[in-house]
Structure 1
Amino acid sequence: MDSGGDKHLRNRKVHYSTNRTLHIATFNTRSLLSQERLTELECEVENIKWDVIGLSEVRRRGEQLITLKSGHNLYYAGEEDKSIGGTGFLIHKRHNANIVSLKKISTRVICLVLKLTARYNIKIIQIYAPTTSCDDEEVDSLYDDITTALTDKQTQYTIICGDFNAEIGMKQDTAETSLGNFGLPGRNERGEIMLDYLLQNNLFQMNSFYKKILNRRWTWQSPDGRTKNEIDYIITDKKRIVKDVTVLNRFSMGSDHRLVRAKVVIDIDKERHRMVKKRTDKRWKRPADIEGFQRTIDDRLAGCDANSNEDVNTLNDILTSAMLESQNKYCPKTQKEEKLSHSTRQMIQERRDLRSKGIVANNELKEANKKVAKAIRRDIRAFNTGHIQQTTEDNKSMRVMRRKLGIGKKHIIKLKTKQGITTTNREEILKTVEDFYQTLYTSQNEDTLNSSTKPDIVTVKKGVVNQGSEELPCITID
């Protein structure tokens, strides 16, 4: 009997995709100091394709890696004693297991290394250049820091992105191989310095290689809206991996900058592609109502005859459809806690639409930004108040409440090894911590382990009544 399947399935060649696509962006946020601004950023990234976003002017103090409630990782490096400048990365949660290292070169230059396969890595450098009001010494120091980041850990691919505060324009001479034929006209002194650096290091400013309309070219506008410049760039050492660079007009956070995004496509050999282990958390969750789950499948398959002449592919589709329907109905789903109300999200969408139109009064856009900021602040306060009340009513730990109200989970970003060397490599950090706890919990008294005598009995006179209590139990050895 012909089952209708493919008789030559074993002879079929399996084609593995050798392309890795990454959407790498850069954005000057103007500030991520408050929780409201961070929530607004998380809301905006839900509407675009992205893998890594380099951030300028985060204005957060110190250096920290935090896993946000959304699952994405936020890394930032700023001044220790003042909330100015600073850079950061927002890394999509799908890459959490692929972070090799995060390193602060300075508050203006940071470096991220992502693992593509077992053998291939990509380095992403985010920068925030001094403004034109700063002296040339700060600019020279910036490019020295970029050189340090480039030479620090050699990888197969490199991307440099950020706010360069320089107008470089388009190619003016055939010798300017680092530039393409497109861009806004004009080049200033900082643009000349930037071009010299690109030529010396064989780097390519990829914004200039793709033709865009003028409205999709500029990345910064003055407060009065009259002056528009292109000063945020995507740069790479291998021109072939960048397939497009575009400015996203619909991404809006009230900043005077616009988000610039590059589509990076890397072709990797098939054998090396097979070595990639994609870690996903899509485990099947047990239905709360097993009988209902089975009953739904039986009802869907009631009119189906296994002895019919239908081919195996049709029967497979019917069975799959029945199981998916039952799973969606009975298997529990993880509900994401929403800080923003529906009305606030609607306001953000209206502001996004307003920005996308292009022709809008500057005062009207400012008013929209104020309304959105006020609504986000109100929603976060209501969210925090609700959690505090619920924690109080349930008589739960204040420590758990503070963890829920925080922006995410903090991580160790650098650690000293046994040899006294400070490392930022994630694998080395984990290995150092693992060795420490293994040594800590390993018995040092071999005689006690090998002894055949019975161990001393530990008697607790008074146990700890509450885990939150700071009183220690009285312990004696009989």
Structure 2
Amino acid sequence: MDRRGLRIATWNVLILNEPASKNLLSEELRKNKVSIAGLTETRLTGSGEERIGNSDSLLWSGGSSRRNGVGLALNSLTRKALLLYEAVSDRLMKARFGHKHGKMTVIICYAPTNDSDDATKEDFYSALSRCLATVPPHDITVLLSDFNATVRDDMGLWRGTVGPLSPDPLNDNGLRLLELCRSHDLYIANTYFQRKTSHQYTWYSNDGRTKKMIDYIIISKRWRSLVKNCRTYRSAELGNADHRLVCADLRLRLHAQRSKRKPVAADIGKLKEPDTCQKYSIEISNRFEALGSLNSSEDLWKHFKLQTCEAAQLVLGKRSYPKKSWLTNETLQVIEQRRKARLLGDMTTYRRLNGVLDRLIHRDKTQFVARIADEIELASKEKDMGSLFKHFRDLTENKTPTLGPVLSRDGALLSDEGSSCVNVDFFISHNSRSNVSRARAFGERGILSKKAKEFASVMVVAFNPRLSNFFVLTTAAASTTVIAASTSCNFDGDYSAFAGDYCDYGCLSSLLRLLLLRTVTIPTCN
């Protein structure tokens, strides 16, 4: 959230499931100072969120196959302003942000091509109209899109919706888009800023000669004064994408949501060094001399915790989380050479470097995995469990559990303030092993509304060995609700196996603590 304003963008990335594509995307957006980027044709399945690059976030919405797909890339500061998002379909996605004076709703759209049949087009534009109808009237509405449409106003019929700077003739998709914009009081920002032709076109064919403006940033007419600039940035490079990055600068500052400050983690790895370990022992001993003057157990605990953390911060310092790219300098140089060849129009060299780049990325990935495998083997021999699991996470960083929306029996998204219960039989049968932790992760990440956060943040699966039943305990507002608690299950005492069946392994310790209690108090259902 730059003090000078907010830069938003739309980009058809062609594909995002290739090796290194997500990290390269993060780097390109950082270079172009983009805070919010709507991504189309991502070809990612399902829906969820994951971290890309050093600190950016990628949210996506896709289908069951690797076709279409939309996504939203956010930098670390913008992610804090995200209130909620909804994965509508493999062509639509909606997110809502808080800003200094209210809220902003961003919709990512990927429309069918102009050659698609009318039924497919009607389905898409009907779904988009329904999505726009749910936007609160006081929100700033922004569409980041690839509409596969060319627009123009030759007769002056669409004044106020499309500007005078449209380089292409109107087609069928363009007519549908203009009708949609007029009915929802929107205007197409690309067509209102005087730029040279190379900064207007957003798509180039493989022959290097055919070019069109089909990617648009569309904003509510009421807020058109917020837009300072809108143009195409040809230098952005990502894989074999034939679309260019389209950016708009807004006079707007987002407002980060308040959250509890997380305790700073100390770099406990330094305790392996004898000098550091001795220094920490002396520091902590000096601080604990005052414990004898405290009588209350609560005061003793507070003093113990405070002095231990302060000594760790002073001697050990803050733990850092460096995340180095596994791409070598040779590969990065080839990427720059390919970028220059494309900008100069040297398509022969550009196509040759495509094959070279693919081979180099595959080589770098193989070397990275082999290096991590050697480090895992070494950590295992030395019984260094911290390093061992760290390297395992490095290998599986792009395979985090998918975070999907929590749905009710009728398929409605449970993200509004009235969502305080869910049918557990449906919930468990329609979700994977991590069903409960998925809901908890939504609460922890602040995607659901305030009341739904309270509902999801303490959702746990607890097993009662005496009753041979499992219960889903939830807290909604100030009351505790028990939902669907009568499913019998055969249990032979293997707590870890049960945990693996009903929640992911990150929740295992919490589950075992509940199991050690041996009993579960059943409140009355309201």
TM-score where L is the length of structure 2: 0.65
Query: In 2, Cα distance between the equivalents of 1:243 and 1:279?
Result: 35
Residue number in structure 2 paired with 1:23: 7
Q: Deviations over 1:322-343 (max 9, x none)?
A: xxxxx9xx98865332211122
Aligned positions of 1:209-248 closer than 5 A: 209-237=192-220, 238-248=223-233
User: Larger helix proportion, structure 1 or 2?
Assistant: 2
Residue number in structure 2 paired with 1:436: 459
Residues 63, 89 of structure 2: 8 Å contact kept: no
Residue number in structure 1 paired with 2:36: 52
Match of 1:62 among 46, 52, 65: 46
Query: In 2, Cα distance between the equivalents of 1:282 and 1:177?
Result: 51
Aligned-residue offset at 1:410: 4.4
Residue number in structure 2 paired with 1:74: 58
Query: In 2, Cα distance between the equivalents of 1:124 and 1:183?
Result: 24
Query: In 1, Cα distance between the equivalents of 2:206 and 2:108?
Result: 25
Query: In 2, Cα distance between the equivalents of 1:223 and 1:75?
Result: 29
Aligned positions of 1:190-269 closer than 5 A: 190-237=173-220, 238-253=223-238, 254-266=240-252
Structure 1 alignment gaps of length 5 or more: 1-16, 291-326, 443-463
Aligned-residue offset at 1:346: 1.9
Residue number in structure 2 paired with 1:131: 113
Aligned-residue offset at 1:279: 9.3
Residue number in structure 1 paired with 2:448: 426
Tell me, what secondary structure is at the counterpart of 2:84?
A: strand
| Larger CA deviation: 64-73 vs 220-229 | 64-73
Aligned-residue offset at 1:113: 1.0
Residue number in structure 2 paired with 1:5: none
Residues 58, 74 of structure 2: 8 Å contact kept: yes
Aligned positions of 1:33-432 closer than 5 A: 33-68=17-52, 70-80=54-64, 82-117=65-100, 120-154=102-136, 156-169=139-152, 172-173=155-156, 175-237=158-220, 238-253=223-238, 254-266=240-252, 334-355=321-342, 358-395=343-380, 396=385, 401-405=391-395, 406-407=397-398, 409-410=400-401, 412-415=403-406, 417-420=419-422, 425-427=447-449, 428-432=451-455
Structure 2 alignment gaps of length 5 or more: 277-313, 408-418, 428-438, 463-470, 474-495, 519-526
Residues 162, 192 of structure 2: 8 Å contact kept: yes
One-letter amino acid of the counterpart of residue 459, structure 2: F
Change (3 A) 1:431 1:280: closer
Percent identity reads 21
Change (3 A) 1:170 1:93: farther
Q: Deviations over 1:23-76 (max 9, x none)?
A: 111111111122332233233223211111111111111112112352211111
Query: In 1, Cα distance between the equivalents of 2:122 and 2:112?
Result: 10
One-letter amino acid of the counterpart of residue 398, structure 2: I
Query: In 2, Cα distance between the equivalents of 1:108 and 1:200?
Result: 20
One-letter amino acid of the counterpart of residue 120, structure 1: G
Aligned-residue offset at 1:378: 1.8
Aligned-residue offset at 1:168: 0.6
Tell me, what secondary structure is at the counterpart of 2:104?
A: strand
Residues 16, 43 of structure 2: 8 Å contact kept: yes
Query: In 1, Cα distance between the equivalents of 2:56 and 2:196?
Result: 33
The aligned length equals 388
Aligned-residue offset at 1:369: 2.5
Residues 69, 408 of structure 1: 8 Å contact kept: no
Query: In 2, Cα distance between the equivalents of 1:281 and 1:259?
Result: 36
One-letter amino acid of the counterpart of residue 374, structure 1: R
One-letter amino acid of the counterpart of residue 412, structure 1: L
Residues 414, 429 of structure 1: 8 Å contact kept: no
TM-score where L is the length of structure 1: 0.71
Tell me, what secondary structure is at the counterpart of 1:23?
A: strand
Change (3 A) 1:61 1:278: closer
One-letter amino acid of the counterpart of residue 189, structure 1: D
Q: Deviations over 1:425-476 (max 9, x none)?
A: 524553222343499899xxxxxxxxxxxxxxxxxxxxx9xxx999x9xx9x
Tell me, what secondary structure is at the counterpart of 2:217?
A: strand
